[in-house]
Structure 1
């Protein structure tokens, strides 16, 4: 096998996208420890404030909004795909969504050691129950029901430091020329779309033993945040290992 790239594989994902949701789910079915081996980086449409911060750093958002005709096609296509995979799906209705709310909460969830639990809870709410995860009241209920720390997660978008980390993720997306999700990148290899997951896995799976060995060498000896009370956790500005720039 050819020498592996030094950097870890990247997956640009979105809590908004049904294709991203299905790709991540299928990826974890095939590679259960993928979250430990791949850098997950959030892809989300920036609001006015984040967009201005992104522009100040010389970046821009590559994604182009789809037409009504394409949207209607995707509604049917995603239901067909989900049924084929055996996934329960209910299409949500988003009312004036601000995507910083759930995506920046995902970053803070990494600091608190609950990122996987957060992701599962939010994806179940959005794609299995059709809930609007950009509605603060809805997200509050999702977090509470999942036993997650509500206030630190719900307030993530109001924290300038966390928002800056979100812009780090947007800059990574810009620098990697990412225009949609799911988007897999490893060295010079790039795969866009749910239908390219198998091609990515063909590259990834033979390399898993070496990637796991790398992870064993670089993994921290212990979780420094484990066991701390919630008020302390909320104040800690821990590094998030899951994405470039600590965002994802």
Structure 2
């Protein structure tokens, strides 16, 4: 996989791409569940799709999008929706033999865990980074917006800790591949996660993954999948203690 694989085609309207895409996000428990399903149940589809990070931009990111006459789709989440997410995720994880450890987010800046993904891709470690960040957040309950957490993950993967931990401060990365990723999700109408596209067809939510996978298989679609090689599928479950979180989902992004 080349370094530009996961963002190939962002200069063309994403909705016109014939390559299947998976918009993933580290914040959303639904995106984590979809990731586990994709890797465990549809590894061939994971290899076929382009993987695109989706995150809520900070003020600088929103400003850069506005300069391109784009906006991030945001809808405030109600208290009732938060409570529903708790129940729903509990059901979904129990059905899969997973035990979620709810993290607590303190003033999160989502560029911190998401922008390093591009640097991991450059080192051909994009899949490993995705797996490790998801595990840190949803199985270990760690704060992935803490730069020290990102630094530790980088060291575990044999990557330079400093550049990954401080990727959010990299103006070139923010204004280049980071902005391209935000514009792509806007062009594709990816209003939440997990979000999948195949040509003009869009699929939102964990419960649409099977339909998306069937469509990808039936069309014989192929792309620049950034999932792990065949056979390197994450374990189906692990036993972790559950704790209550101050952030049970995110606005507009629960599928």
Q: What is the TM-score of this pair, normalised by structure 1? A: 0.78
> 1:34, 1:112 → 2: CA distance?
23
- 1:51 paired with 2:42, answer no
1:73 to 84, 87, 99: 84
Shift of 1:93: 0.6
Change (3 A) 1:124 1:79: same
Cα RMSD (Å) of the superposition? 1.8
1:211 to 189, 202, 221: 221
Change (3 A) 1:157 1:35: farther
- 1:86 paired with 2:105, answer no
- 1:135 paired with 2:141, answer no
Q: Is the 8 A contact 2:147 2:166 kept in 1?
A: no
Q: Which residue of 2 is the match for residue 238 of structure 1?
A: none
Q: Is the 8 A contact 1:7 1:187 kept in 2?
A: yes
The 3-state SS of whatever aligns with 1:170 is helix
- 1:20 paired with 2:31, answer yes
Change (3 A) 1:88 1:149: farther
> 1:149, 1:80 → 2: CA distance?
38
* Structure index of larger Rg: 1
The 3-state SS of whatever aligns with 1:200 is helix
Shift of 1:46: 0.5
The 3-state SS of whatever aligns with 1:41 is strand
Q: Is the 8 A contact 1:121 1:143 kept in 2?
A: no
Shift of 1:79: 1.8
Q: Which residue of 2 is the match for residue 180 of structure 1?
A: 192
> 2:46, 2:62 → 1: CA distance?
28
Cα deviations by residue, 1:61-96 (Å, 9 ceiling, x for unpaired):
112121122112102211221111112311111000
> 1:185, 1:6 → 2: CA distance?
8
How many residue pairs were aligned? 208
Shift of 1:6: 6.5
Structure 1: runs of 5 or more not aligned = 216-248
> 2:154, 2:89 → 1: CA distance?
26
The 3-state SS of whatever aligns with 1:46 is coil
> 1:146, 1:12 → 2: CA distance?
23
Shift of 1:125: 0.5
Cα deviations by residue, 1:159-182 (Å, 9 ceiling, x for unpaired):
112112111111111111111011
> 1:67, 1:22 → 2: CA distance?
22
> 2:45, 2:125 → 1: CA distance?
16
Alignment of 1:139-150 (within 5 A): 139-150=150-161
Q: Is the 8 A contact 2:38 2:46 kept in 1?
A: no
